Structure 1
Amino acid sequence: MAHYIHDIVAKFSSTNILLIGDIILDHYAFGVVDRISPESPIQILDVSRDEYRLGGASNVANNIAALDAQVTITGVIGNDENGKMLRDALKEQGIEDALFIDNSRPTTVKTRMIAQGQHLLRVDREKKEFLSQELNNKIQHYISENIDRYDAIVISDYAKGVLSKKLCQKVIQIAQENGKPTLVGPKGNDWSLYKNSTLISANRKETEEIVGFNLNTTEDIKKAGNLLLETLEIEVAVITLGPKGIFVATKDSQIHIKADAKEVFDVTGAGDTVLSLLSLCTAIKCSWKHAISLANTAAGIVVGKVGASTVTPEDLYAKVIYNENTHLKKLKKLADVIVELELFRNQGRTIVFTNGCFDLLHPGHIRYLEYCRNRGDILIVGLNSDASISRLKGAERPVVKENDRAEMLAALTAVDYVVIFEDDTPVNIIKSIQPDVLVKGADWQGKEVAGAKFIESYGGSVEFYPYQEGYSTTNIITSITNK
């Protein structure tokens, strides 16, 4: 797959997907359990951190956006703070919001309580009644009026009341009339809702409940795939089989690809990742063999992460081209780093943070980063974005663009993670990461260091690297321009 992955993934940025489904806000409460309640024989979770992520249909949208595609999500949220938080999260990820307010229900929230990397309990806040006719009409009208903008329609059903049979069939009809493929992530025991869609992607258990028999053998799986094609009148049936990979059936072929995961930490959202990859591959009309292979690779990546995570082009390149032995896997979004750091903290590791522009990487930078890494066990580098550098240093900077600067930093052995941030100071990223140690150059001694007071408030420390003369990006640029 290595020889064609760039060609496929590069086309994702030109696609535009419309997603309809149940919008969920995922809440993760991370903490430590070290005692039993005196009130009842239950564990006490001492919560140290709360994280909020896009879940349900919004996680599918987030996966699509993470792969550089355009995506719009429509559905309903409540008229509450969680709804506002969810909308803000969509905007932050570059997902277009076509949501409607339902004053009769809360925004759906799933709270997962996690200690020492293990899930203890999940608490759901939701209302599952179907939408009013008024809201159904609003969604249908939006889709009818905007269908020409999109290359494919994704229906992501989590059985929270948005997708009635009438609405699903109307969406599929609109898509068919306009020559747009529809891809479905199903739920429940009545899949007639999705009849005449293009593709349905479901896991083994969901499929077994629909076809009425267990998928124990290859023949069972093939029989189930063909049954779905015939009874639902769809073009493609995809069955995810966990450790046994992914199976796809079309009227012309059957493909079974083995699982691509070395370590499974959390299966949350794996189906969403598969559906997002398939929607993009369908939109660009690549072969089913390539589409399933890429979706299988993405699923193998996401189950090695905590919670409903996303897969980026860099993740795919790292897995497919370099078999994970690459610096590209160090390039992370802040949300992914935050969750992974919980595992390191539970192992007692010291988290070190530093930040900077790192424009025109030179030996001074390398020595500085090696110093930072020796202050602890995990080094996270916050990298100023191109826009923030231009604001700080002038329109002619940076010389090297942010993605290239990030990749060069990631190639250094001393660096464990690189996270690009847009603000002029790293205060917000520091508050999110909560490092044990913040390192700055000695030229910052005696000055107000951004984030220092916050770090010291919980017992962290600020250290200064002894300043070394002779290395300066500005001097290098001046030397070049004066020649």
Structure 2
Amino acid sequence: MRIVVVGDVLLDTDLSGAAGRLSPDAPVPVVDIDTVRRRAGGAGLVARMVQGEGHEAVLVTVLGDDDAAGLLRAELDGIQVIEGHSGAPTPVKTRIRASGQAVVRFDEGCAPPPVPDVTAGMLGALTGADAIIAADYGRGLLANPQLREHLESLVGSTPVIWDPHPLGGTPVAGVAAVTPNLGEALRFAEVRGSGTQAAAASADTLLSRWGSAAVIVTMGEHGALVAAAGLLPQVVPAPRVSVSDPCGAGDRFAAALAVGLAEGEAIDTAVRRATGAAAQFLGRGGITAMAPGTEPALHQLPVDGFDALDVARRTREAGGTVVATGGCFDLLHAGHARTLAAARALGDCLIVCLNSDESVRGLKGEHRPIIRQDDRAELLSALECVDAVLVFSESTPENVLARLQPDIWVKGGDYAAEDLPEAALMSSWGGRTVTVPYIPARSTTKLAAALARVG
């Protein structure tokens, strides 16, 4: 798959270290810098994310001739770059982080530049793409009349995803999707308010004004709202994820959306893919977790869009307690909900180790499970007390526990230590096995029998 990203680039720099004291000359923290990391930002980050999905990424942009441009070119190594001359300083955004927390950001070379010229090579690189992402960061490239005219000539044959910017150009007519975030959508449409109603009103206005096939308003933890001509707005919910820094989520969304549309997916299907990809990106630590020149490896997971093992890792790094429980959870009932809530109260995250369909058949017989594993995992994930789900195929949970190594393993009911072989395994890394009260008269078997009686 050949995905062309056209737009403005900048240099992002992270200076990270520890802050254990205040400056003697002002009440501000002193950060002892021990790590300096640079990466391509803007359209460069989008291209890196496309490449991280295993596709050919081509970046069409303009670059300067200053020292920062040299650093930026180094961060774009491995990506095919078709460039023109920006005629302006390279924008540099530097973040100071102390113990993982952003303290301040300062910008250099970010004054509005003149609209740059484009070359024949830049225009030619757009032809033959499976999809095009117009990543506008307000630096003028997507305001170039020749570039806009050429993009407009391609929208009928190539999916074009336009990620707009308040200081950038208006999307060209006919693009497959425009992807403002909620704040941008409200500003563009001059709509007051917040939430889904305001997002829908903004999307309706912008759909008519821009003449695009769809407007997708991204709403952070509330997912994305999709508006297309002749259809009611559709809200695609976002997987639950703990976010400390949302930087890069919009770029990740645009990259995944472009791949989905390039593969022929319908707009709603592609938005579901993109929403899950953005949540997974944030769940893995977001922009700060990206190794230089790479995107964190992507995995297909049963629910939530991020890895249960990663939830456990991040909880430990924050000094928290990892709690796990397990079972088949076929036909969720009140007893399950109470057990899970009690387990979650014992620590800082709860991971449910879920028996796969194959495992349930081995334990319960060929007539089980009643509900397949993907649906069981999704139902569990929807519970507020569940942070992640990890599916395993063995009849007992020892292998999955050895991978997860939780601090606490929870079982519902009255058990002796000899009844739970995993108790000895838990103690091998200092973990504990505990039980929580079993709720009488609540069981999947009884529910299944009752359902059978009523047909």
TM range (shorter): 0.5 to 0.7
Q: What is the distance in 2 between the residues matched to 1:128 and 1:59? A: 21
CA deviations on 1:322-369 (whole Å, 9 max, x unpaired) are 97346xx69xxxxxx9xx89x94x869xxxxxxxxxxxxxxxxxxxxx
1:183 positional shift? 1.0
Match of 2:222 in 1: 244
SS of 1:208's equivalent? Answer: helix
Q: Which residue of 2 aligns with 1:126?
A: 109
Distance change (3 Å), C-alpha of 1:169 and 1:145? closer
Task: Answer whether contact 2:215 2:228 (CA < 8 A) is retained.
Answer: yes
Tell me the distance in 1 between the aligned counterparts of 2:44 and 2:103.
24
The 5 A counterparts of 1:299-314 are: 299-304=278-283, 305-307=285-287
Q: AA paired with 1:110?
A: K
Q: In the TM superposition, what is the alpha-carbon distance from 1:290 to its structure 2 partner?
A: 1.5
Shift of 1:313: 9.0
Query: Using the alignment, how far apart are the partners of 1:56 and 1:196 within structure 2?
Result: 23
Contact 1:32 / 1:47 at 8 angstroms: preserved in 2? yes
Partner of residue 95 from structure 1, selected from 56, 79, 87? 79
How far the C-alpha of 1:220 sits from its partner, in A, is 3.1
Which amino acid is the alignment partner of residue 289 of structure 1? D
Unmatched 5+ stretches in structure 2: 321-398, 406-455
In structure 2, distance between residues paired with 1:196 and 1:105: 31
- State the partner residue of 2:145: 166
**After the TM superposition, which of the residue ranges 158-167 and 179-188 deviates more from structure 2?**
158-167
Identical pairs, percent? 23
| Offset at residue 165 of structure 1 (A) | 5.5
- What is the CA–CA distance in structure 2 between the aligned matches of 1:114 and 1:217, rounded to whole Å? 31
Provide runs of 4+ in structure 1 moved above 4 Å.
308-314, 319-323, 410-416
DSSP 3-state at the match of 2:300: helix
Distance in 1 (alpha carbons) for counterparts of 2:40 and 2:240: 23
Alpha-carbon deviations, 1:291-344, whole Å to 9, x = none? 111111111122231436669695341364997346xx69xxxxxx9xx89x94
The amino acid across from 2:234 in the alignment is I
Residue 298 of structure 2 aligns to a residue whose secondary structure is: helix
Query: Does residue 1:115 correspond to 2:98, yes or no?
Result: yes
Establish whether residue 31 from structure 1 lines up as the match of residue 14 from structure 2: no
Aligned-residue offset at 1:89: 2.3
Residues 174-323 of structure 1 correspond to what in structure 2 (within 5 A)? 174-176=153-155, 179-188=157-166, 192-216=170-194, 218-253=196-231, 254-304=233-283, 305-307=285-287, 315-318=298-301, 320=303
Instruction: Please point out which of 37, 44, 48 is paired with 2:30.
Output: 44
CA deviation map 1:2-36 (0-9, x unaligned)? xxxxxxxxxxxxx1111111111211100111222
Kindly tell me: are residues 325 and 302 of structure 1, through their superposed partners in 2, closer, same or farther at Cα, counting changes over 3 Å? closer
Amino acid at match of 1:122: R
Q: Give the aligned residue type for 1:307.
A: I
Contact 2:246 2:282 (8 Å CA) reproduced = yes
Distance 2:262 2:140 in 1: 27
| SS of 2:155 mapped into structure 1 | helix
Deviation per CA, 1:44-80: give whole Å up to 9, x if none. 1110111112211111111111111111101122223
* 1:169-209 C-alpha deviation (Å, 9 max, x unpaired): 224223237x2222111011676354433211011111111
| C-alpha distance 222-31 of structure 1, shift in aligned 2 (>3 A) | same
Amino acid across the alignment from 2:106: V
The 1:347–1:26 alpha-carbon spacing in structure 2 relative to 1, beyond 3 Å, is: farther
Q: Verify: 1:324 aligned to 2:313, yes or no.
A: no
Give the match for residue 3 of structure 2. Answer: 17
**Whole-angstrom CA distance in 2 between matches of 1:155 and 1:266:** 24
CA deviation after TM superposition for structure 1 residue 105, in Å: 2.6
- How many angstroms apart in 2 are the aligned matches of 1:189 and 1:84? 26
Q: Residues 65 and 71 of structure 1 are in contact (CA less than 8 Å); yes or no, is this contact kept in structure 2?
A: yes
163 and 202 in structure 1: CA distance in 2 versus 1, 3 angstrom threshold: same
**What is the distance in 2 between the residues matched to 1:220 and 1:321?**
26
Amino acid across the alignment from 2:88: R
Per-residue deviation, 1:162: 2.6
**Secondary structure of 2:118's match?**
helix
Between the aligned partners of 1:83 and 1:412, the Cα distance in structure 2 is: 48
CA offsets per residue over residues 201-251 of structure 1, 9 Å max, x none? 011111111111235354433222221111110001000111211111111
Relative to structure 2, which stretch is displaced further, 141-150 or 292-301?
141-150
Distance 1:286 1:309 in 2: 29
Count of residue pairs brought into register by the alignment: 321
SS at match of 1:150: coil
2:63 aligned with 1:86: no
Measure, in 1, the Cα distance between the counterparts of 2:195 and 2:83: 43
Give 1:278's aligned amino acid: L
1:84-111 residue CA offsets vs partner (Å, 9 max, x unmatched)? 23222222xx321112344x43322211
Report the secondary structure of 1:27's partner residue: strand
What amino acid maps onto 2:145 in structure 1? K
Deviation of 1:113 after TM superposition, in Å, equals 0.5
For 1:318, what is the secondary structure of its paired residue? coil
> Against the structure 1 CA distance between its residues 321 and 122, is the aligned structure 2 distance closer, same or farther, given a 3 Å change threshold?
closer
State the distance in 1 between where 2:263 and 2:7 align. Answer: 22
What residue is the counterpart of 1:367 in the other structure?
Answer: none
Alignment of 1:334-413 (within 5 A): 344=317, 413=402
CA spacing shift, 1:52–1:322, aligned 2, 3 Å: closer
Flag structure 1 segments of 5+ consecutive residues without an equivalent.
Answer: 1-14, 331-336, 349-409, 417-483
Match of 1:155 in 2: 134
